[in-house]
């Protein structure tokens, strides 16, 4: 099975913000900010990951909750920028 964009983002969030706690029930639509999973520094780390992993350059206008506040939103944003399907 090919690793999807959402799989890669989920793995990054679990590893970097949940400290490897795979038991945490991270729903695709759960707010990463409202659930205190990421803070402003975490958003910058997430942006760096997206840019490095997917070859996207994110401008200030891209770094908003509408694009970065859940696994579903992050995956949709990346999919729109790279033209790859976010789901298998």
**Domain ranges for the chain:** 5-80
**What Rg value do the Cα atoms of the chain yield, rounded?**
12
Which CATH number is associated with domain 5-80? 1.10.1200.10
Instruction: Give the predicted TM-score (pTM) of the model.
Output: 0.88
In this predicted structure, the answer to whether residue 87 has a pLDDT above a threshold of 60 is no
The pLDDT of residue 42: 95
pLDDT tens digit string along 30-85? 999 999 999 999 999 999 999 999 999 999 999 999 999 999 999 999 999 997 55
Tell me which residue of 57, 49, 60, 64 sits closest to 81, measured CA to CA.
Answer: 57
Q: Cα separation of 16 and 37, whole Å?
A: 10
Q: Cα separation of 13 and 49, whole Å?
A: 10
The pLDDT of residue 10: 96
Q: Are 88 and 1 in contact (CB under 8 A)?
A: yes
């Amino acid at each position: 099975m090919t690793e999807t964009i959402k799989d890669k983002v989920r793995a990054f969030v679990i590893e970097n913000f949940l400290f490897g706690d795979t038991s945490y029930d991270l729903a695709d639509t759960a707010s990463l900010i409202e659930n205190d999973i990421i803070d402003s520094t975490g958003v910058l780390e997430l942006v760096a990951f997206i840019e490095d992993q997917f070859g996207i350059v994110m401008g200030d206008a891209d770094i908003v909750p509408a694009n970065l506040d859940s696994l579903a939103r992050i995956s949709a944003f990346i999919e729109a920028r790279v033209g790859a399907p976010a789901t298998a």
